[in-house]
Amino acid sequence: MTTFLEQHAKKVFGALSCFDRILFRGYLPLESGWTMAEFLRAKGVDRLKLKSFLLEQAQRLKKHSFQVARDAGRPTQYLSGHARKEELAREMANKDGVEQGLVCVFSVLEPCRSFSMVWKNGKTFIRPAKRQCLFLYYYFLDRELGLIHIKIQTWFPFRIQVYVNGHEWLARKLARHGVHYLKHENAFLRVDDLRRAYAARRHSPIVSRRFPGFASCPPTLGE
């Protein structure tokens, strides 16, 4: 990035930065076969019924996602094959005039890391295994962050990921401050008023000494 600015310094009027993407990840602390076996024992579940137990809990999550969507008056959709989930969510939001809150819930079959039961020396063991299960994608329009999504694995250990796009956040900052811009996907092709953009980005931007008039604003989220 520095090299690009150095090469085109005479043509570039300013640089406005933001965080790119932030991912928050979590899961239940059941990563080994032993911890999963202990969990089943504590719940009084026979390890021979592992698969049916996993499917039962997955169905509960799926049913809950449908209920959340119904309560919000928003659609659920199963996606097969390759699909641009974010584009579909945007299209739904634009079509239905959704400006804030839940947009939709997608369900997708994807590879996952879960558990399986194996026999060894006449005994049963539970071990981590690569499987396929249903993932739920909740898409929301947030007033500050724009379009975000939460991805939930429906099989143990229920891995979850919250996805935030920094370019969405910056676009909303600029719009609220009346700064006109041209944006294509995640790239800002034009910003009409850099001074107001800097103020929108942060009240006291850091001005680069190497490029007078440039402003580089470090992320405020996730620091």
77 class by beta-carbon count within 10 Å (0-12 exposed, 13-18 middle, 19+ buried): middle
Q: Is 182 left (phi over 0), alpha (psi -120 to 50) or beta?
A: beta
Query: Mean pLDDT in runs of 10 for the chain (223 residues)?
Result: 72 73 89 94 94 95 95 96 89 95 96 92 91 96 90 96 86 78 72 72 40 34 29
In this predicted model, what pLDDT tens digit does every residue of 77-133 receive, in sequence order?
Answer: 999 878 899 999 999 999 999 999 999 999 999 999 999 999 988 889 999 999 999
Q: What is the rounded CA–CA span in Å between residue 106 and residue 93?
A: 14
User: What was the pLDDT predicted at 2?
Assistant: 60
Q: What is the rounded CA–CA span in Å between residue 26 and residue 19?
A: 21
183 class by beta-carbon count within 10 Å (0-12 exposed, 13-18 middle, 19+ buried): middle
What is the pTM for the complete model shown? 0.77
108 touches 134 (CB < 8 A): yes
User: What was the pLDDT predicted at 223?
Assistant: 28
User: What was the pLDDT predicted at 7?
Assistant: 81
Instruction: Report helix angle 194-201 to 166-176, nearest 10.
Output: 120
Q: What are phi and psi of 120, to 5 degrees?
A: -150, 125
